[in-house]
Amino acid sequence: MLYRIQTIQKKLPANTGALVISPQNRYYLTGFSSSEGYVLITPQQGVFLVDFRYFEAAKREVKTAQVEELTRLREQLPALLARFGIQTLLVESGYVSLASFAMLKGICQGVELPAQNALDEWLLSLRMVKDEEELGYIRQAQSITEHAFYKALDFIRPGVSEREIYNEILFDYYRQGAGGMAFETIVASGPHSSSPHASVSDRRVQAGDFITIDMGAKFNGYCSDMTRTVAVGHASEHMQRIYQTVLQAQLAALNVLSANKTGHEADAVARNIIDQAGYKGAFGHSLGHSVGLDIHEEPRLSPGYEKTLPAGVVITIEPGIYLAGDCGVRIEDMALLLENGCQNLTHVAKELLVLK
Ligand code: ZN
Ligand code: ZN
C-alpha cells in the first residue's frame, strides 16, 4: 500500500506538497477509515492527521504515513508546511467544497494553493488499476453479492413484494459480514423493469413478470456490482426475444473486451447487436463503468470514451433493453481487464431463468 503515497511523492515538484481530504482517497492511501482527517504528502514523507476519536487506532494500524493527532488544523497545517519547506500545496479538489478550499487558503498564508492542479488526476490513475489486495476485496464483495442473490431467488414467488426481496438481500449482506450495500439495491418487477434505476416499491410480484435485480455488496470499502433479470412463472416469446438479445450483446462485448482498447469499442459491439435486433434507442445508457472504492469510477465503456483502457481495471458490462410501459432486461457482470482479454469476476449463470 505504501507505493500509493510513494507514487505521488515521485510526481511532486520541489517544495510542493499534496493534501488529500476525501474519505475514499484517505482510505486508499492509509487503509484507515475515518469520517474526517487529512493526508499531507510531502517529498519527505506522508503525514496522516486524524482527531482523538480515531488517533489511537490509527497510530496502531496505519503503516504508510506518520500519524499525528488533529487538534487545531489552523495551527498544525501551517506548522507542518513550514517543517517540510512546502511553498506550494496541491489540494484535492474532486470531492472538496469551495468553502473548504477557501478555508485552507485562509490558513495557509504565504503558501500557494493552485485552484487547478494534477493531484486528482494522479489519484484517479492510481485508483484505476487494482492491486492484488484490492482485487481480493472486490472478489469477496462479489462472493457476498452472489450468496445474497441465490437467497433472493429462493425467496421470490408470486405475491412477495419488491421491498421484501430487497430486505432479504440486505439482511444476507450483513449476515455475511459485508460493510453494507455498494449502492441502493434495485428490485424492479413487471412494468417497473423498464426503468433502469427504478426505486424499490411495495409492488407484488406476479406470474409473467420480469424482475431485474441490480445489486452489490461492499467489503473492506470495495464495491461489487451485478445485475440479473429473471422471469416469474413463465416468459412470453416477446420477453424471451428481448432477453436473448441482451444476452447476446453482453456475451459479444465480453468477448472483445480487453485492455489496450478504447472504452467505446465494447460499447459499440453491444449497441450494434441491440440496434440491429430492432431495439434502437432502447439501450439508453452506457455499457459499463469501473468499480472500486466508489461504485462508479473511471474509466468507462461508453460511446464517447476514446481513451485506452489499462490492464488491472475492474469494469462492468451491462447492456439492457428498456421498453417503456412494457418491461426491461439488463444483464451485468464485472470483469478484470487483462492485456489480452478479460477475466469475468461474476459467476452467476446468465441463461434465462424462469422461476416456477
Ligand atoms: Zn449494477
Ligand atoms: Zn453497474
Q: What local confidence, expressed as pLDDT, does residue 61 receive?
A: 97
CA of 226 to the centre of ligand 1 (A): 5
CA of 206 to the centre of ligand 2 (A): 26
CA of 37 to the centre of ligand 2 (A): 30
CA of 227 to the centre of ligand 1 (A): 5
Which ligand is the nearest neighbour of the Cα of 216?
Answer: 1
CA of 182 to the centre of ligand 1 (A): 9
pLDDT per position as a tens digit, 234-267:
999 999 999 999 999 999 999 999 999 999 999 9
How much is the average pLDDT of 261-284? 97
CA of 84 to the centre of ligand 2 (A): 43
Per-position DSSP letters for 263-294, written without gaps between them:
HHHHHHHHHHHHIIIIITTS--S-SEEE-SSS
CA of 297 to the centre of ligand 1 (A): 13
CA of 290 to the centre of ligand 2 (A): 8
Contacts of 83 (CB under 8 A, 6+ apart): none
Q: What local confidence, expressed as pLDDT, does residue 204 receive?
A: 98
CA of 356 to the centre of ligand 2 (A): 28
Specify whether the CB–CB gap between 195 and 188 falls below 8 A.
Answer: yes
Confidence of residue 33 (pLDDT cuts 50, 70, 90): very high
pTM score, whole prediction: 0.95
pLDDT per position as a tens digit, 211-242:
999 999 999 999 999 999 999 999 999 999 99
Q: Where are the beta strands (DSSP E) in 26-182?
A: 38-41, 46-50, 66-69, 88-91, 180-181
CA of 155 to the centre of ligand 1 (A): 21
Q: What local confidence, expressed as pLDDT, does residue 94 receive?
A: 83
Q: What count of other Cβ atoms lies within 10 Å of the Cβ of residue 124?
A: 15
Which ligand is the nearest neighbour of the Cα of 289?
Answer: 2
Residue 150 CB burial class (10 angstroms; 0-12, 13-18, ≥19): exposed
User: Which candidate, 122, 154, 173, 138, places its Cα nearest to that of 8?
Assistant: 122
User: Which candidate, 192, 145, 188, 133, places its Cα nearest to that of 169?
Assistant: 145
Q: What local confidence, expressed as pLDDT, does residue 232 receive?
A: 98
CA of 219 to the centre of ligand 1 (A): 16
How far is it, in rounded angstroms, from Cα 231 to Cα 223?
A: 26
CA of 215 to the centre of ligand 1 (A): 6
CA of 170 to the centre of ligand 2 (A): 18
Question: Is it the case that residue 124 has pLDDT exceeding 90?
Answer: yes
Which ligand is the nearest neighbour of the Cα of 184?
Answer: 1
Cell of 294: 466508489
Which ligand is the nearest neighbour of the Cα of 315?
Answer: 2
Q: What local confidence, expressed as pLDDT, does residue 155 receive?
A: 97
How far is it, in rounded angstroms, from Cα 250 to Cα 270?
A: 6
End-to-end CA distance of the chain: 48
CA of 211 to the centre of ligand 2 (A): 16
How far is it, in rounded angstroms, from Cα 187 to Cα 104?
A: 43
3-class secondary structure, 321: strand
Average pLDDT, the chain: 97
Question: Is it the case that residue 95 has pLDDT exceeding 90?
Answer: no
Q: Please give the DSSP secondary-structure letter assigned to residue 15.
A: T
Confidence of residue 135 (pLDDT cuts 50, 70, 90): very high
CA of 311 to the centre of ligand 1 (A): 21
CA of 289 to the centre of ligand 1 (A): 9
Which ligand is the nearest neighbour of the Cα of 145?
Answer: 1
Grid cell 487529512 in the structure block, residue: 38
Which ligand is the nearest neighbour of the Cα of 149?
Answer: 1
pLDDT per position as a tens digit, 42-82:
999 999 999 999 999 999 999 999 999 999 999 999 999 99
How much is the average pLDDT of 332-350? 98
* Distances 134 to 40, 119, 121, 145, 164 between C-alpha atoms, Å: 23, 21, 20, 17, 32
Which ligand is the nearest neighbour of the Cα of 295?
Answer: 2
Confidence of residue 115 (pLDDT cuts 50, 70, 90): confident
Q: What local confidence, expressed as pLDDT, does residue 266 receive?
A: 96
CA of 222 to the centre of ligand 1 (A): 14
